[in-house]
Structure 1
Amino acid sequence: MTRGTGRGTGRGTGRGVAITGIGVLTPGAPGARGFWETVTGGRPTFRTITAFDPARFRSRVAAEIDFDPGDHGLTLRQRRRMDRAAQFAIVTAREALAASGLAPGDLDPARTGVSVGSAVGCTVSLDREYSIVSDGGRLPVVDPGYASRHLPDYFVPASLAREVAWDAGAEGPVCVVSTGCTSGLDAVAHGMELIREGSADIVLAGATDAPISPITVACFDAIKATSPDNDDPVRACRPFDATRSGFVLGEGSAMFVLEEPGAALARGARVIAEIRGFASRCNAYHMTGLRPDGAEMAVAIEAALDQARIPVEGVDYINAHGSGTKQNDRHETAAFKRALGDHARRVPVSSIKSVVGHSLGAIGAIEVAASALAIEHDVVPPTANLRHRDPECDLDYVPGTARELRVDTVLTVGSGFGGFQSAMVLGAPGRWRS
């Protein structure tokens, strides 16, 4: 393809929305830099669950974060009040703001928005509080006298966005987006729209989830979606591999500073990448099942590329959903072929879930971070643990080792229970201009 000669970006705007700050918290080394080193190194972060005794569960491995909130500047009161997922969001939002060259005092409160995605909200705290009020599940009638005074906050996912808004001093549009495993992508897209429509000048957008708890593990055990390969945790998640057996539950958060590119450059900010297009579809088919032809994801991909005004040949890298379940890997492989045609066989595809696990609603935002950093560094992260070729998964999945490659445009996709299919297009700043 010819670089830098594409048409303008989505909806006739002639521009994207700038990402000027990234904050990430995932298993492995902390921060956006540590995250990038972890995923490009292709070193899975899986281990036997330590958050609770997993002995009675089918799947006993997870991608856990070694997280001490005190090390990240959270006060004792914040630690008492906030669920683990909220703590993650605060830490990553602060990192994103600092990376963008902004401090809370620099923001116009009324022109600053927040969009946070989460699939399961304050699961860790809810699970803990139920265990307390029910005396470990032994009481048929619970005793509310033992409940935390913060329990109402744990029931309301909006508390996650509220905490980020309070911490940053944001008084503009604030919301939570909860669309299952596409929550992160969809929340970033909502932030993009707030900038595009002029409702905010700065948006803190991203997602957070801390689902590693008995109730979540039990739910995925019931449908056999998670890997039962407990004897070899490091290899438990093998996206696109013929021997794959399910995903590994993870946890984490990624937050971004989004703003209009011209305004960002005017204040001297560094634009890491631009969000050029987004689309979401629902298959209206099955709660957990996917049609094998990938039609709905393909439609979302086509719509996102159309909004970005980028031809299929302009896609340099696909950051896949790549959960490691048989139906998902085949579904999105079919979707890439359907949407991109022959180019699907030429473009590298990889799954970072093979390294940091599947953090449910958070992972879509974490994958946006990987996509933006791939553009910044011109490096495609690998798919770990891919050793045995599946004839139905026959694309270039970048097995084992990161690949240096000029990356101007990234397509990142997500697939969620309920039939949600989302696709986002990110581009290098200053390229693919009209």
Structure 2
Amino acid sequence: MGHSRRVVITGMGVVTALGESLDAFWGALCAGRSGVGPLTLFDTTDFKVHFGGQVRDWDAAARFGVKEARHLDRFAQFALVAAEAAVADSGIDFARLPADQCGVFIGSGIGGLSEFEAQHSTLVHKGPSRISPFTIPKLMVNAGSGQVSIRWGLQGPCSAVATACASAANAIGDAYKLIQSGHADVMITGGSEAAITHMGLGGFAAMRALSTRNDDPQRASRPFDRDRDGFVMGEGAGILVLEAEEVARARGARILAELKGYGMSADGWHITAPDEEGRGAARAMKRCLADAQLPPEAVGYINAHGTSTPLGDLAETVAMKCVFGDHARKLMVSSTKSQLGHLLGASGGVELVASVLALRTGVLPPTINLEQPSEGCDLDYIPNVAREARVDHVMSNSFGFGGHNASLLIGKYVD
């Protein structure tokens, strides 16, 4: 099939701790604001960590109606709201397109964790006969994709990717390949996650993955900084509308960017720790460049995975040096997780939206809280203040537990 069709991005939507409209989200990112704060979803008194990148003031009943809200886990609610925004942004009218050529790929690392916890509690305290009939449809990882396809009656390829923190990036890359090869014309794609729950927070804290900077939450996520002590949990969704170029042009769509490359790999190393030499991450980036048929020098900015973990940030830096060689010194790199926290399976979706906005506006978001770069972390990470810089190509990296690596590459659309 090869490089048969060009694939473009025509719409985007987000739900994040920094807002839901693209304007609010982008404005906050460029201003260097943090969306991290005390958690209010449940009582965290007994937990080691009391803060995160929580989506505030979320009223599901007001958005979906009381009955419908009860049938949707929080992660699926995020997916639907971000998808609605992306579809509105794209101006697409699915009634005018063949339903079997329009599909959905939405990733999630964990799916309906809050529903799982609530119903397990019911099972233990009230018995199996009291378990809700909506339990399985709410907790399954594919609920986001399924609900979005139902919302518009889409009948093309529909799937859900679960590769931990690479889920959204893999979903977007897979959707891109389906359009490129002619298996679909339009795909709604990205990721959604709502794992700030008792088990989510407790589980990540138990494996010592999280920052415990409880006295200063806004400065807890500090990618590439000497004093980083783990990631900060976030939640939300990032959804994009991808179309075959000729389909977008035929309907007079506003084209935001072109998706040009996708690379993926496995570390084959450890279930949670990255390969210390970043070989898996480097393979994904190299494959992404090869897929885009571009030299390393073409990339001006990388939205890094940059989770603020001691091992991960260093491994990613080593990988970037390996792939980009001398050009690594000229690259501009930043981690928006410094402001949003880590959205796990949704991070690649939200970060690709940020990457598109960076490409379009000529403003690159900063890595906040970067005060003393860690030893070996010696690239240009756009510390603390956004930078005006025109770039033609942007890469976005997502790496997940299990050793999953995914890189996406976008460029300005040129006829």
Superposition TM-score, scaled by structure 2 size: 0.97
**Separation of aligned partners in 1, 2:257 and 2:143:** 29
Structure 1 contact 25–32 (Cα < 8 Å) conserved: no
Q: Which residue of 1 aligns with 2:242?
A: 258
Report if the CA contact (8 A) 1:21-1:98 is conserved. yes
Q: How many Å separate the matches in 1 of 2:288 and 2:60?
A: 37
Once the two structures are superposed, the pairs formed by residues 330-369 of structure 1 within 5 Å of their partners are 330-369=314-353
Q: Give the Cα separation in 2 of the matches to 1:113 and 1:412.
A: 23
Give me the whole-angstrom Cα distance separating, in 2, the residues matched to 1:46 and 1:147: 34
- Please tell me whether residue 45 in structure 1 is matched to residue 59 in structure 2: no
Q: Show the counterpart of 1:83.
A: 73
3-state SS of 1:166 partner: helix
The 2-side partners of 1:185 and 1:155 are apart by 21
Return the letter of the residue paired with 2:72.
Answer: M
| Equivalent position of 2:163 in the other structure | 179
Q: Secondary structure at the match of 1:177?
A: coil
What are the superposed Cα offsets for residues 395-425 of structure 1, whole Å, 9 maximum, x if unpaired?
0000111111112100111111011111111
- Stretches of structure 1 that go unaligned for 5 or more consecutive residues are 1-9, 136-141
Task: From 177, 181, 192, give the equivalent of 1:208.
Answer: 192
SS of corresponding position for 2:191: strand
**Alignment-derived partner of residue 109 in structure 2:** 119
8 Å CA contact retained: 1:379, 1:407: no
C-alpha distance in structure 2 between counterparts of 1:198 and 1:356, whole Å? 35
Partner of 1:132: 122
Secondary structure class of the residue paired with 1:284:
coil
Are 2:53 and 1:69 equivalent residues in the alignment? no
Cα displacement string for residues 198-257 of structure 1 (whole angstroms, at most 9, x for unaligned residues) = 121111111100000010111111111100000111111111110011111000101111
Q: SS of 1:342's equivalent?
A: helix
Residue 338 (structure 1) shift: 0.2
2:188–2:242: 8 Å Cα contact kept in structure 1? yes
Give the superposition deviation at 1:282. Answer: 0.4
Query: C-alpha displacement at 1:266, in angstroms?
Result: 2.1
Q: Does 1:374 align with 2:365?
A: no
| Structure 2 counterpart of 1:34, from 24, 30, 47 | 24
Q: What's the C-alpha RMSD, in Å, of the aligned pairs?
A: 1.4
Contact 2:301 2:331 in 1 (8 A): yes
Alignment of 1:31-430 (within 5 A): 31-66=21-56, 67-71=58-62, 73-135=63-125, 143-430=127-414
Q: Say whether the 8 Å CA contact 2:18–2:25 is kept in structure 1.
A: yes
Pick aligned residue for 1:22 from 9, 12, 15: 12
- Tell me if the contact between 1:92 and 1:253 (Cα under 8 Å) persists in the aligned partners: yes
- Report the Cα offset of residue 279 of structure 1: 0.9
SS in 1 for 2:64: coil
Cα drift, residue 48 of structure 1 = 1.5
Q: Tell me if the contact between 1:320 and 1:349 (Cα under 8 Å) persists in the aligned partners.
A: yes
Q: Which amino acid aligns with 2:59?
A: D
C-alpha change, 1:285 and 1:81, in structure 2 (3 Å) is same
Question: By how many angstroms is 1:155 displaced?
Answer: 4.0
Distance apart, 1:355 and its partner CA: 0.6
Q: Using the TM superposition, give the Cα deviation of residue 70 of structure 1 relative to its aligned residue in structure 2, in angstroms.
A: 4.4
Distance in 2, matches of 1:314 and 1:425, equals 11
Tell me if structure 2 keeps the 8 A contact 1:206–1:255: yes
Matched-pair contact (CA < 8 Å) for 2:395–2:409: yes
Residues in 1 aligned to 2:3 and 2:106: alpha-carbon distance in whole angstroms:
27
Amino acid at match of 1:64: Q
Q: Could you say what secondary structure the match of 1:134 adopts?
A: helix
Q: Is the 8 A contact 1:11 1:307 kept in 2?
A: no
Deviation at 1:38, TM superposition (A): 1.8
- Give the equivalent residue in structure 2 for 1:139: none
CA–CA distance in structure 1, aligned partners of residues 91 and 139 of structure 2 = 34
1:4 is aligned to: none
SS of alignment partner, residue 329 of structure 1: helix
> Partners of 2:123 and 2:320 in 1: how far apart?
48
Whether contact under 8 Å (1:241, 1:389) holds in the other structure is: yes
SS at match of 1:386: coil
Paired AA for residue 41 in structure 2? A
1:159 and 1:429 map into 2 onto residues whose CA distance is 33
Secondary structure at the aligned position of 1:219 is classed as helix
Identity %: 38
DSSP 3-state at the match of 1:256: strand
1:396–1:11 Cα change, 3 Å? farther
Shift of 1:11: 4.2
Counterpart of 1:6? none
CA distance in 1 between counterparts of 2:168 and 2:85 reads 17
Greater shift in the superposed pair: 256-265 or 202-211: 256-265
CA distance in 1, matches of 2:193, 2:206: 20
For the residues of structure 2 that align with 1:339 and 1:149, how far apart are their CA atoms? 50
Residue identity in the other structure for 1:92: A
